[in-house]
Chains A and B, each alone.
Chain A
Amino acid sequence: MLKQLLAIVLLPLIAALVVGLGGKLISRQWAHRLTIVGVATACILSINLAFGFASGQISVIEHTLYSWAKIGQLNLQVGFLIDSLTITMMVVVTFVSLMVHIYTIGYMKEDPGYQRFFAYISLFTFAMLSLVMSNNFLQLFFGWEAVGVVSYLLIGFWYKKPTAIVANLKAFLVNRVGDLGFLLGIAGVYMVFGTLDYSGVFQQVNSGFNDLEIVISDTAIWSATTFICIGLFIGAMGKSAQVPLHVWLPDSMEGPTPISALIHAATMVTAGVFMVARMSPLFELSEVALNVVLVIGATTALFMGFLGVIQNDIKRVVAYSTLSQLGYMVVALGASAYSVAVFHLVTHAFFKALLFLAAGSVIIAMHHEQDIRKMGNLKKYMPITYVTCLLGSLALIGTPFFSGFYSKEAIILAIENSQLTAATYAYWCVLLGVFFTALYSFRMFFLVFHTQERMDEHTRAHLKEPSMVVWIPLVLLAIPSVSISWFIAPQIISGEFFNVAIQVAKSHDVLSSISEMYQQPFALGLHAFITLPFWLAVSGVIVAYIFTVARPAWREQLNLKLNFINQVLRENYYFDKLYMNYFAAGGVAVGNKFWKWIDAGVIDNWIVNGSAKTVASISGQLRKIQSGYLYHYVLVMVVGLLAFLGWIYWRALHGTV
């Protein structure tokens, strides 16, 4: 078993190192062959393991690899904790990664950085796996930062592009702000529980422990568990791009599309959601933290949905959609429906990876034109992309019987049942979000695949379905996007599948009342036709249809009428301006002032050189009687000595020594 686990995590690493460091020794063919073999093996082994969990043959595997550091009672070890939650992530990560690897053969075939790209995505797979498979906070943090670095490298993959290298720096720094919270959360865990192993922490949570206090100020004294949860959640806000740390995700679209699918939709950005689900025993201890989670998630879900409606770059539409969907997952976490959050994470990984890859397929066909205003009627030229993208969009907006329907419906039902203070706000946000999800998704869909052709002649002449390596992953992702929920929804909602991996306090149980109806997925799908979310989605599609296909002129008129709102949305609620003009520019300005005024001004000019000048002027007189070359030091030494001795003498006089 250990060998299998090591193979899963290490094969992608080895492939990445060989391809990455091999340089010109590794040809393009071998670059994709080696990395695909690595990730395919990891994927097959993970699926195999998942069947073991589903059939109940395996429950939990915990294994320590080596001791990273030992300090007093604290033993920091590197190891694996594999349970149903972990294996779910492992399957999603390796499967989507495999699809993206295959797709990349086609997408990047003309790129000079072909080998480097495969090395990076393979390295990413390793980092993500070590994050989810960890059995302790230290390794979690390692994986957490490692995926961040690979994301940084990949956003800046086209390093000649000025926007790309700003975007990757921004992504890394915004994530680092989140990581500061995360690290403090981990420090809090050590403070309260004296260990960083999950098992040690959860054991104490279940058997009772002494909560401590963290003094922030005289009036703000927090319980340590609340502190830990909020700290960890700030980390999740960075990685999973929650408001106000969401600003990096839209810009991350500067990277090549395959990684937008893999990293910035399906896997890395969901690491925050996974982490909070993993820490469910801790979050259950703090209703304050859960309320915070709810508010942040709900705000992200709705307000990022608004932004999706006004984007014209095909990838940015999908990116804002991702932000909004991550908000949905976070809402589920806040409602203590951790399993539902992970459920939505899984379905979203498939349909959003699909949508991104479909967008990539469109981008290839359009010769790297990404503006949807210059597309139109592509269904005629690219039928496979058209159908798969339609399936993905239907899953995203929660059409009954599609995978996304079951997970989104569960979120809405869960929040409806939640008793937390912020639950009402969150409920309205996610409900209204359904309308906007349908609106932005189908606005894009219609503008790209329907309506009249707006591209130039040259582009139109070359429009065609991309090669097989590109569309096969689309088809393979479309299958689970449609159907995965039929197989997993009943077990997930009933709590049977995640079992002990997720713990929910009795008073927070929002799922038991809906568990029964999830036992018959088909009946649930039928029932949906008389519910509000369904009709909200339908009206979203209709509105999108009116404004794009039926009456496109209305769009312009509406834009003019809503100019102010439009402006606010275009500026991303002014977050970017605030961060760039105040935080980034302000930081550099502060540094400059510190440096020029205090370091160079006061310390150097005034004190250091000032005393040197004084010495020099005195010594200028003394030079006449001695011609020593070392006068500088000697004088300083003598002066210093005298001052010191004088001070001692003075103190002795006053009887203090």
Chain B
Amino acid sequence: MIEKLPLLSLSIWLPVLTGVLMLFVTGQKHKKTSHWIALIGAAATFAISLLLLSEFDSSSYYIQFIEDKVWLKSLDIHYALGIDGFSLPLIVLTSLMTLIVVISSWNNIKFRATHYLAGFLIMGGLMNGVFAATDSILFYVFWEAMLVPMFLIIGIWGGANRVYASLKFFIYTFFGSVFLLIALIYLAKQADSFDIFNMQQMVIDLEAQKLIFFAFLIAFAVKIPMWPVHTWLPDAHVQAPTGGSVILAAIMLKMGTYGFIRFMLPIVPDASMAYAGMMIVLSLIAIAYIGFVALAQEDMKKLVAYSSIAHMGFVTLGLFISFALLKQQQVDAAVMGIQGALVQTISHGFISGALFLCIGVLYDRMHSRNIADYGGVVNTMPKFAMFFMLFAMANAGLPGTSGFVGEFFVIIASLQVSFWIAIIAGLTLVLAAAYTLWMYKRVIFGDIANDKVASLNDLNGRELSVLIILALLVLFFGLYPSPLLEIMQPSVEHFIDCNLVSKLTPEGMCS
């Protein structure tokens, strides 16, 4: 029976419809009801994503759970969905994080809480749509649509400077998207189809590839974000409410990774190969330069935001180092680089989400993100200190946590290309530990700094439950990343065999 259900459509539209439904249940009277509706909707979506996970055949790279209906006949645009080893983990992650945000914002939003939760449900569904769409226009619609709830969440529920931050966020990402649309339309004309997978198996000459490369780059680099188009992220994080930051860091940045792996690398591999050097340099700047910038931050959210940029540098490094490795015929190491990038993508979702939740826990109590306002929190919140320690260590890439796995693979693969790439990437060992643990020291350790800290209450059951879930995931995938790797393995191998081959001539292309 399960096979007959359109699971992917459900994972998209169930949360969206729940969210829309909630928009009609307003007023203080129904606050409780609407919260429960949100929780049930998010939980059901997560259950669907788990169903997808259990029904998914991880031994094959084939697109699964295919749904295909003609949407706009005259333009041959389809409502086409399907997932492979790349998109499945992202859909599960999205559904999980949406659920976590709903639980964690249970009663700390005072202003229009129902609408706030509705925003997250709608956004969760749309983001699932981004990962599930196999028609490029459908993809584009989801890609743009999900900006709207986030824009509103930052702009309405954000901090003092929320308008500047939400505009900056919107303009930055929208600016990138325009080029994406142009590229997609051009490609669709060439391929005579809006199907993403048709675009991946098509001859494009190098000059055109280079133009498309830059169009994609602008769109996806802003999302990840890569240096130097990253400055929207710290502002957006600082102003966003906790839930917004969690989703932004845990999911939205991952759309950049997904864009690279679904569009840029397979469609224009020759241009990607040609510019791999540039991309590697930009990734290293993200890792090292941003690591230093993070060290200088006085605001916890800004610090974690910069840390996110540095960690996402490993994603782009892993993806583009694989080109250099393929050139040297080192297929295994190339697989390792891509796997590392993908594991980092998922793991960073858990860790950055958890860190923003932790900062949210503090912010709810103290209404400050300033490191200097804290000190000695462990004295009054020992349980919180324990969880924060675990996530801080995971952020510093400690073996045994998921934060280690991706970075380990990418650094190991990098040395095969160049000593200097490996050592600059390896600087994260020192830098990430320095900025994360220094913050930890100033916030958590020490004697009680002021009366506010003295009156803090430790985690409540709701906060505890979400942090436990994330802690278990961080540890599980650190101690046993194999299940995650196995889901992605066939897709990665197929990706290397079929998608990264030259698209200059039809030779060697998989049909």
Contact = CB atoms under 8 A, between A and B. Distances in A.
B423 A70 contact: no
A599 B231 contact: yes
A603 B234 CA distance: 13
Helix, strand, loop or mixed for chain A's interface? helix
Contacts of B70: none
Helix, strand, loop or mixed for chain B's interface? helix
B16 to A, nearest CB: 23
Given A165-B446, A591-B296, A603 B174 contact: no
A215 to B, nearest CB: 6
Contact of A183 (B171, B232, B335, B429): B429
A591 B485 contact: no
18 contacts: A70-B482, A71-B489, A73-B332, A145-B398, A146-B398, A159-B446, A180-B430, A190-B412, A191-B415, A587-B295, A592-B296, A594-B292, A595-B296, A599-B293, A600-B231, A612-B171, A637-B178, A657-B211
A156 B385 CA distance: 13
Interface of B: 167-168, 170-172, 174-175, 178-179, 182, 207-208, 211, 215, 228, 231-232, 289, 291-297, 331-332, 335-336, 339, 376, 378-379, 389, 393, 398-400, 405, 408-409, 411-412, 414-416, 418-419, 422-423, 426-427, 429-430, 433-434, 437-438, 441, 444-447, 479-482, 485-486, 489
Contact of B445 (A156, A173, A176): A156
A180 B427 contact: yes
Nearest to A182: B429
Nearest to A222: B419
A656 B430 CA distance: 46
Contacts of B174: 633, 636-637
A608 B412 contact: no
A327 B399 CA distance: 28
A162 to B, nearest CB: 7
A73 B333 CA distance: 10
Given A69-B485, A159-B378, A184 B426 contact: yes
Interface string A611-641: 0100000000000000000001100110011
B379 A176 contact: no
The 8 residue pairs across chains A and B that have the minimum distance between CB atoms: A72-B332, A591-B296, A591-B292, A187-B415, A591-B295, A592-B296, A142-B399, A165-B445
Given A162-B446, A608-B168, A644 B419 contact: no
A72 B335 contact: yes
Contacts of B293: 591, 594-595, 599
A273 to B, nearest CB: 21
Interface in A577-617: 587-588, 590-592, 594-595, 599-600, 603-604, 608, 612
Given A72-B331, A169-B441, A641 B178 contact: yes
A3 interface: no
A518 interface: no
Interface of A: 66-74, 138, 141-142, 144-146, 149, 152-153, 156, 159-160, 162, 165-166, 169, 172-173, 176-177, 179-180, 183-184, 186-188, 190-191, 194, 214-216, 227, 587-588, 590-592, 594-595, 599-600, 603-604, 608, 612, 632-633, 636-637, 640-641, 644, 648, 656-657
B376 A160 contact: yes
Contacts of B336: 71-72, 74
A594 B289 contact: yes
Contacts of A591: 291-296
Nearest to A71: B336
Given A156-B445, A180-B429, A603-B231, A71 B332 contact: yes
B171 A71 contact: no
B482 A67 contact: yes
Contacts of A149: 393, 398
Given A184-B426, A636-B171, 14 more contacts: A69-B405, A142-B400, A160-B446, A183-B408, A188-B415, A214-B419, A215-B418, A215-B419, A594-B296, A595-B296, A608-B231, A612-B171, A633-B170, A644-B179
B178 A187 contact: no
B497 to A, nearest CB: 12
Nearest to B339: A71
Given A184-B415, A587-B292, A603-B228, A74 B332 contact: yes
B447 A657 contact: no
Given A145-B398, A591-B292, A603-B231, A632 B167 contact: yes
Contacts of B411: 183-184, 187
Nearest to B228: A603
B289 A604 contact: no
Contacts of A74: 332, 336
Nearest to B294: A591
A169 B427 CA distance: 17
